[in-house]
Amino acid sequence: MRLFVSEGAPGNLPVLAAAGRVRGRAELLISTVGPEECMVPFLTRPKVPVLQLDSGNYLFSTSSICRYFFLLSGWEQDDLTNQWLEWEATELQPALSAALYCLVVQGKKGEDVLGPVRRALTHIDHSLSRQNCPFLAGETESLADIVLWGALYPLLQDPAYLPEELGALHSWFQTLSTQEPCQRAAETVLKQQGVLALRPYLQKQPQPSPPDESAVTNEPEEEELATLSEEEIAMAVTAWENGLESLPPLRPRQNPVLPVAGERNVLITSALPYVNNVPHLGNIIGCVLSADVFARYSRLRQWNTLYLCGTDEYGTATETKAMEEGLTPQEICDKYHVIHADIYRWFNISFDIFGRTTTPQQTKITQDIFQRLLTRGFVLRDTVEQLRCEHCARFLADRFVEGVCPFCGYEEARGDQCDKCGKLINAIELKKPQCKVCRSCPVVKSSQHLFLDLPKLEKRLEEWLGKTLPGSDWTPNARFIIRSWLRDGLKPRCITRDLKWGTPVPLEGFEDKVFYVWFDATIGYLSITANYTDQWERWWKNPEQVDLYQFMAKDNVPFHGLVFPCSALGTEDNYTLVSHLIATEYLNYEDGKFSKSRGVGVFGDMAQDTGIPADIWRFYLLYIRPEGQDSAFSWADMLLKNNSELLNNLGNFINRAGMFVSKFFGGYVPEMVLTPDDQRLLAHVTLELRHYHQLLEKVRIRDALRSILTISRHGNQYIQVNEPWKRIKGNEADRQRAGTVTGLAVNIAALLSVMLQPYMPTVSTTIQDQLQLPRPACSILLTNFLCTLPAGHQIGTVSPLFQKLENDQIESLKQRFGGGQAKVSPKPEVVETVTTAGPQQIQVLMDEVTKQGNTVRELKAQKADKNQIAAEVAKLLELKKQLALAEGKPLETSKGKKKK
């Protein structure tokens, strides 16, 4: 037989690694062919590696070639290997090709590369660690290992793309990479050039289409049903029988909450939302709601918990907003702070404090930190040249300037980047700059600024990270972001701005400057705590006793994981630093992004007008929490999850369990005589409960929610199989059986009500009221499943918990919140009547132009239908025309540009 390979084809790796298997069994010739040669007569497109068999037939699938080599050596096929290979072909390969193309052909780095494959890597890691075997299909290395290793090797041989928290994957990969056949294949294929050896081949390949749904899938991984040992079952039964007695006394809630020596003290923050934006669902799930679930869970564990947040109020954007609305910045902040507070109250966010950053405490603490950094030599001065609009009497932030691109002459280049040639621009280099607010020409003025000397603090930061990261629950994306910042080297960061609305800089010559958000926004947590209690330092200068969890979306990671720790370390004042940095990915809306300006997406204040209860919103947002990867909000999916998971699964089970107690046993929990099957169920529920705890301790909120639904599914099955409604009409033994099943089921319902508390607090309380669950059992969750509703306990009135969402209801909401209308641009006549459009309208149009530009580029890249492209280009030109009109420019500008 003859194997055809091509230089740099990724498929060579597994094939060559597996080829050793046939040595001495069959003759194998290897020939190298060009990447575009068609070796298989019946395939239109070129494909390598290819194995031509002695029969004349061809194997053109990499895995099948490997499989054939293994089969020749006497190996037998099995289900698990088939499953891995099918997964490799359908899930891993699409993601991997996208990642390799990004890395090798497009030269991208970091998250662009790792993003598409992270889910697949995590899947392998989980499988390895769950089955407790060193290899994918058992105790010895086999076909599945070789195929997956070969696929992953080009990417993972660079340690930057082998996330260190995936320990099981790490050791599996290292083990295989050091084995002789793999090592040799790697040397032959990559020739010590690393992944770039694949370039000549990959360049010739069409760009892989992005792995379609997998990137935004809302389905978490499936967990497998575990096998139980006798001991596990016996322990579960003992714990159950101990019942309410094993609950510790309830911890009284103090005011103010302060750390207590010898206890677990958990300090939780969620990123401070910027005051002048109404938060959308993505913002809500990204920080406050995620942090709320953890705070509630932490309280259920009886940990001493303080959860705080507040509005971030200083900065340019507030000043601009104030100008627009004709209010003072303070008035803007007062107005929007209330809006925020109302939204979070509606979502039932259990803040201990919801404060704000515009307070005297903020000034005091920020200035103190600054002074300490200054005296210790961590602050630099430098002169910065900036554009200043004399008419508006202020320095212009990059996004408030526009002019002619110094590189390509494009007339509408932005202050930081040219949309036409894509080059980065320093705002002062713009030709004919214009203030976007008043259209007058700004002048270059030099201005003194202060910089935080991050390079000087880098060593301390690394030391601290070295102590903090191992064994902590920092999310993978946060680790990755910090690691890549450190790899590129830290640079001094400007911490002052020429603004009025901010914390004043206490230094001579800086009287008309304020601190920049990079420096003082994260200090907000401290000042907010200081406004709550004068003993705030017991939380914030107490790293030995306090465990700090900070929740945010991933764009906020550098502030929290790097800049603030550097400032705090520089002060030498023993600040409490983040122990667990929990960053989410992004939530999209249907197929696009949330956009306030285009009216697309659901914003916090609108959720309450939908008639859908807050707990349903919480449930769905947590169910699709962008944990480990981006996810998407979809109305249709929300309807589906509400009707299937809440109504048919959870609600149905809890309601049935309660109804049986009322209907068949007069509202009193019946005697329970556990059979071995019941004991097995107890142990399964206990196991799932443990799993829930393990996940939430690691802040894997979305996955833990699944455990709740799994238990309820077990419960439904249990009722279905045992049919208490039939047995209750039978003989003595049957009636006793009906009693046991009902009693066990209603106790599972009670357990679920507590597990549900972090996710759906109102529903949780409703269930507990219906079941009359004893007080301590409502507020404490142990790791064992206890009988909290013993025989003879009287329950209350049971009623349904959830309502069905109807199709037309969801359709009309979908219409209302857009997505569909976004593409309809306003008619030009309308724009013409607006003589001077406000900066906001201009921004809207600019966004649309950018978006439409991207659409056109994408279509061209996909080589789409010409008419379709032409239609989209026409739309783009129309939008540009509107933009020119809105900005008060004569229409000729676009033509004049071409003449030059």
CB of 51 to another protein, least distance (A): 9
CB of 618 to another protein, least distance (A): 23
**Which tokens go with 815?**
């219409």
Is the Cβ–Cβ distance between 551 and 290 less than 8 Å? yes
CB of 485 to another protein, least distance (A): 34
Q: Which is nearer to another protein, 199 or 713 (CB)?
A: 713
Is the Cβ–Cβ distance between 813 and 590 less than 8 Å? no
CA–CA gap between residue 45 and residue 60 (Å, rounded): 11
Q: Which is nearer to another protein, 90 or 812 (CB)?
A: 90
CB of 18 to another protein, least distance (A): 12
Let me know how long the chain is. 900
Q: Which is nearer to another protein, 405 or 711 (CB)?
A: 711
CB of 93 to another protein, least distance (A): 8
Q: Which is nearer to another protein, 63 or 503 (CB)?
A: 63
Is the Cβ–Cβ distance between 486 and 459 less than 8 Å? no
Q: Which is nearer to another protein, 144 or 349 (CB)?
A: 144
Q: Which is nearer to another protein, 53 or 871 (CB)?
A: 53
**Which tokens go with 712?**
């309820």
**Which tokens go with 423?**
């080059």
Is the Cβ–Cβ distance between 633 and 589 less than 8 Å? yes
Cα 216 to chain centroid distance, Å, stands at 11
Is the Cβ–Cβ distance between 259 and 715 less than 8 Å? no
Using CB under 8 A, list all residues that contact another protein: 41-45, 53, 55, 57, 59-61, 63-65, 67-68, 71-72, 77, 79, 82-83, 85-87, 89-90, 93, 212-214, 217-219, 222, 224-225
When computed from its CA atoms, the radius of gyration of the chain, rounded to whole angstroms, is 31
* Host H or E run for residue 868: helix 866-886
CA–CA gap between residue 770 and residue 764 (Å, rounded): 10
Instruction: Mention every residue, 6+ apart, whose C-beta is less than 8 A from residue 809.
Output: 611
Q: Which is nearer to another protein, 81 or 764 (CB)?
A: 81
Is the Cβ–Cβ distance between 286 and 553 less than 8 Å? yes
Q: Which is nearer to another protein, 71 or 873 (CB)?
A: 71
Q: Which is nearer to another protein, 518 or 586 (CB)?
A: 586
Q: Which is nearer to another protein, 71 or 384 (CB)?
A: 71
User: How is residue 648 annotated by DSSP?
Assistant: I
CA–CA gap between residue 748 and residue 528 (Å, rounded): 41
CA–CA gap between residue 314 and residue 427 (Å, rounded): 23
Is the Cβ–Cβ distance between 668 and 225 less than 8 Å? no
CB of 227 to another protein, least distance (A): 9
CA–CA gap between residue 187 and residue 153 (Å, rounded): 11
Phi, psi of 552 (to 5 degrees): -165, 170
Nearest alpha carbon to residue 583 among 114, 344, 270: 270
CB of 85 to another protein, least distance (A): 7
- CA–CA–CA angle 187, 192, 194 (5° rounding): 105
Q: Which is nearer to another protein, 98 or 699 (CB)?
A: 98
**Please, which residues bridge with residue 32 across strands?**
5
Phi, psi of 443 (to 5 degrees): -115, 160
CB of 701 to another protein, least distance (A): 20
CB of 382 to another protein, least distance (A): 51
CB of 13 to another protein, least distance (A): 18
To which residue do tokens 């050791």 refer?
A: 171
CA–CA gap between residue 11 and residue 409 (Å, rounded): 46
Nearest alpha carbon to residue 417 among 409, 408, 405: 405
CA–CA gap between residue 32 and residue 526 (Å, rounded): 65
Is the Cβ–Cβ distance between 39 and 57 less than 8 Å? no
Q: Which is nearer to another protein, 123 or 335 (CB)?
A: 123
- CA–CA–CA angle 311, 316, 318 (5° rounding): 45
* Host H or E run for residue 736: helix 732-755
CB of 638 to another protein, least distance (A): 15
Residue type, 65: I
CB of 99 to another protein, least distance (A): 17
CB of 426 to another protein, least distance (A): 44
* Host H or E run for residue 698: none
Instruction: Map residue 252 onto helix, strand or coil.
Output: coil
> β-pairing, 546-553 with 265-270?
parallel
Q: Which is nearer to another protein, 28 or 258 (CB)?
A: 28
Task: Using CB atoms within 10 Å of the CB of residue 624, give its burial: 0 to 12 exposed, 13 to 18 middle, 19+ buried.
Answer: buried
Q: Which is nearer to another protein, 589 or 664 (CB)?
A: 589
**Which tokens go with 146?**
């070789």
Residue type, 538: R
Q: Which is nearer to another protein, 42 or 511 (CB)?
A: 42
CB of 590 to another protein, least distance (A): 14
CB of 120 to another protein, least distance (A): 13
Q: Which is nearer to another protein, 67 or 493 (CB)?
A: 67
Q: Which is nearer to another protein, 147 or 288 (CB)?
A: 147
Instruction: Mention every residue, 6+ apart, whose C-beta is less than 8 A from residue 342.
Output: 605
Is the Cβ–Cβ distance between 577 and 546 less than 8 Å? no
CB of 210 to another protein, least distance (A): 13
CB of 298 to another protein, least distance (A): 32
* Peptide bond between residue 206 and the one before it cis (omega within 30 degrees of 0): no
Q: Which 3-state string (H, E, C) describes 335-355?
A: HHHHHHHHHHHHCCCCCCEEE
Q: Which is nearer to another protein, 223 or 734 (CB)?
A: 223
CB of 222 to another protein, least distance (A): 6
CA–CA gap between residue 66 and residue 38 (Å, rounded): 21
